[in-house]
Structure 1
Amino acid sequence: MPTSRTARPTGSRRTSQSGGPAAKRTAAPRPRALTSRATVLLAVFVVLALAYTYPIRVYLQQESQIAQMEREQTEQRADIAATAKELEKWKDKEYIRIQARKDLYYVRPGETPLLVINDPEGAARDADQKAPAAAPARWYDTLWHSVQAANAEPSN
């Protein structure tokens, strides 16, 4: 039994084809960075990504529209609730009387209506009542008066 490192029998060892010493190793050319198989795979991924962008955009747009419609629906429900509450008020006869007195100035029989108008600008205007200013003369009246004044001047 041989005590060498190799466990191969001597007949199975590699030798050079010429029968001489073992062949010298040479550096193999490096493979290209992107093979044709990798290029095709990359192209398929790009096409799939482009194919899925439009449906995803449509989906997100529809989700946005749904959220907006739900907000509008919530606002409409709040408006409906407020209107229903206002309608309940109008079923009360006393509330109708109060609104008629306030908005339409209705009075009950035997009452004297008194309407107070809060107009501080009008009150200040009335306190300073001056004679209305004369209307400015029209341009042709001014011209005619100047002609008459020139005619009336004594000649020397």
Structure 2
Amino acid sequence: MIKLNRETDYGVGILALMARDAEARYSAAALAEIRGLPQPIVSKILKHLARSDLVVSYRGAKGGYGLARQPDEISVAEIITVLEGPIALTDCIEDGREACQYGSQCNISGVWSRINDVVLRALSEITLADASSADGDDAQGPIHTLEFTGVRHVREH
């Protein structure tokens, strides 16, 4: 099963909330309350995002966290990569074909690579601005078609 971990899911939601007012500063406590999440988890995610330069940490009485860049400059792929690591459907995509004990006999690594490219491209095209405007529904925006081996995949972003 291809599934994002809980921290990544929460992280995208926290950043989408912050993107609604990209110039504001947010405390971990306020974000936790608004999102209905435990504050220690939100604090951990924010620290991780700050180390990766997706958010900026401000100290002092008017401190908190703010986005490091504009929401339309941050892709969902970048957020996932920061919180989970490289986007790779199989080990051979991430580590190279030689990482697999069956790599020399594998006849599908090229297919996995093409599928991974489509997934990565789709996630790269969806920005934090798109995610923040979704309001819990599918993100608004034009329909894009991704083509993969003659099959049309339609998605909104």
Same fold at TM > 0.5 = no
Q: Could you say which structure has the higher strand fraction? A: 2
Structure of higher CA gyration radius? 1
TM-score by length of 2: 0.17
Greater relative contact order: 1 or 2 (C-alpha under 8 angstroms, separation 6 or more)?
2
TM-score, structure 1 normalization? 0.17
